A and B are shown apart, each in its own frame.
Chain A
Amino acid sequence: MNAFEYAQPATLDEAQALLTSASGPVAVLAGGTDLLTAMKQGIVNPARVVSLKSIEELRGIEVSSDAVRIGAMTTLSELAAHPDVARLYPCLVTAIKGIGSPQIANMGTVGGDLCQHPRCWYYRNGFGLFGMNNGASLVLEGDNRYHAIFGNDGPAKFVNVSSLAPGLIALDATFNVRGADKQMRDIPAADFFKTPSAPEESLTSLAAGEVLTHITIPAAQTRNATYEVRERHGLDWPLVTASVAYTDAGGSAQNVRVVLGHVAPTPWVVDAAAKTLEGKAIDEAAAAACGTSAVADAKPLSMNGYKVQLAKVAVKRALLAAAG
């Protein structure tokens, strides 16, 4: 890990002043479970690290009658243990439990989970976000068993690995972002994530000096669930996940959201498949049909065709879990 200057300010004003005044590359430190690894691997090399750990206003969960507001520095353990979160958002609790390591859940934060660097092994071994070597795609030529099956037409073929993002998008959450000018802006969860078309482009819609401060989720009672397909329990990322949410209107589903994780460079929203369930009862046949529809546009690479089947089944099982 390269040497860097470090600050742990107590306020957002101070933190953002430190982020914008740096002359070299700067990194925001949250829980550290991803950033420190990326720095040891030499794929992120900041000259200045600004920790958000002492900023009290970024921690904690506020529950009101119409929304649940989660500070970005709330740990994953704190989120999963919150009684209102457990009652309203089982899709998030399942995703956190799936991480499988109490140590990661105790350290990792909500904001950090959403801003993780991809796990693509070519990226992690120094071949850049797109895994290129001498103009050739190592992903296409090499081992792409864990790579994208959607949204992989461009140079980005890695997958987004956030545990919470698919659930937050399904729940229609809003990401609250504070600019360097101290102005707040709201970003719908689905619009936060970007697929870069050039190596220097960002993976999120955060501008320089902007900080993700809170996540706001409508408190409306929905049926929601996450289903993860994994090789190992814990200490690994899932192969494919599906998060679903809908309003139960007397036995028929309304406002159905279906979001896949680990299948594309961003969380992958499958609205067309979700629409097939509008006004219907969620039963085995309807859920299976939705899963089939969700993967209709999949374009697997040479070694990851199996993920299409996993995604199809994950959607079905998430819907059936939500329906109870």
Chain B
Amino acid sequence: MPFRKKPEEPSGLSRRGFLKTVGAGTVAGGLIGESATPPRASAQAPALAGPGPIPLELNINGKVEKVSVEPRVTLLDTLRNHLDLTGSKKVCDRGTCGACTVLLDNKPIYSCSMLAVEAQGHAVQTIESLGTPEQLSAIQAAFVEHDAQQCGFCTPGFVVACTAFVHDHPNATLEDVRAGLGGNLCRCGTYHGVTEAVLQVVKTGKGGA
């Protein structure tokens, strides 16, 4: 199944409202405060973490996840290798394909180009939080209807990017869609289906869901 079971989510809340609720409960400051590195003697010196593993608390899909990783580990590798969230794909690993796209505070970003330690204090949302096999999200249903995937490897990144796009561009035109999805590549070339799917969701006004 391409999409994991959605974590428990309070009913009656939009995705965005839900994230805001969760975000309000997390501590934004004190990023390095819980570092495994003991504080330095001087009170002036800011805390250094690593190079060994450090404990992190990450807000992933509305849940607080505790992991221990080295500062050099990316958010993508942490999701895939430490949290068993393998929906975000590792393809280019250098910010040029979009397969690792996740939402950080509701904005699409490349999780391969961010350190996990930097994601503390932010709300991360991965493909696993969007829809369920039984109840697809509007974008997922439109992808199925418009045959918007071929091999499927770029699809999770596209679905996350499209979800953010339709939310932020409720009146998008074809040109807007093409420009707005420029951060994702499909080696099979299934762009036509993707743009059709996104335009349908825009037309039906379901992008905010």
Contacts and interface: CB of A to CB of B under 8 A. Distances in A.
Interface of A: 1-10, 14-15, 17-18, 29, 31-33, 36-37, 39-41, 48-49, 51, 53-54, 77, 97, 100-104, 106-107, 233-236
Given A4-B71, A235-B185, A48 B48 contact: yes
Contact of B93 (A4, A10, A40): A40
Contacts of A8: 31-32, 117-118
Interface stretch (B12-20, B105-113, B197-205): B105-113
B50 A102 contact: no
A202 B76 CA distance: 31
A97 B71 contact: no
15 contacts: A8-B32, A8-B117, A33-B95, A36-B95, A36-B114, A53-B118, A77-B107, A101-B95, A102-B164, A104-B183, A106-B109, A107-B109, A233-B179, A235-B183, A235-B185
Contacts of B107: 77, 102, 106
B208 interface: no
Contacts of B81: none
Interface string B78-107: 000000000000000111111001001001
Given A18-B46, A107-B113, A7 B32 contact: yes
B41 interface: no
Contacts of A54: 29, 31
B179 A6 contact: no
Among A18, A29, A49, A233, max chain B CB count under 10 A is at A49
Contacts, number: 127
B70 interface: yes
A49 B117 CA distance: 12
A101 B45 CA distance: 38
Given A97-B179, A235-B97, A235-B185, A5 B115 contact: no
Contact of A5 (B51, B94, B108): B51
Interface of B: 29, 31-32, 37, 44-52, 70-72, 74, 93-98, 101, 104, 107-110, 112-115, 117-118, 161, 164-165, 178-180, 182-183, 185
A73 to B, nearest CB: 12
Contact of A17 (B44, B72, B98, B118): B44
A103 B110 contact: yes
A14 B40 CA distance: 13
B97 to A, nearest CB: 7
Contact of A103 (B37, B74, B109, B115): B109
Given A101-B182, A102-B180, A107-B109, A6 B115 contact: yes
A19 to B, nearest CB: 11
A107 B71 contact: no
B114 A107 contact: yes
B46 A235 contact: no
Given A6-B117, A48-B48, A103 B71 contact: no
Contacts of A5: 37, 48-51, 71
A102 B115 contact: no
A54 B33 CA distance: 13
A316 B50 CA distance: 52
Nearest to B181: A102
A142 B90 CA distance: 31
A59 B18 CA distance: 26
Contacts of B183: 100-104, 234-235
Given A3-B51, A103-B183, A14 B113 contact: no
Contacts of B74: 36
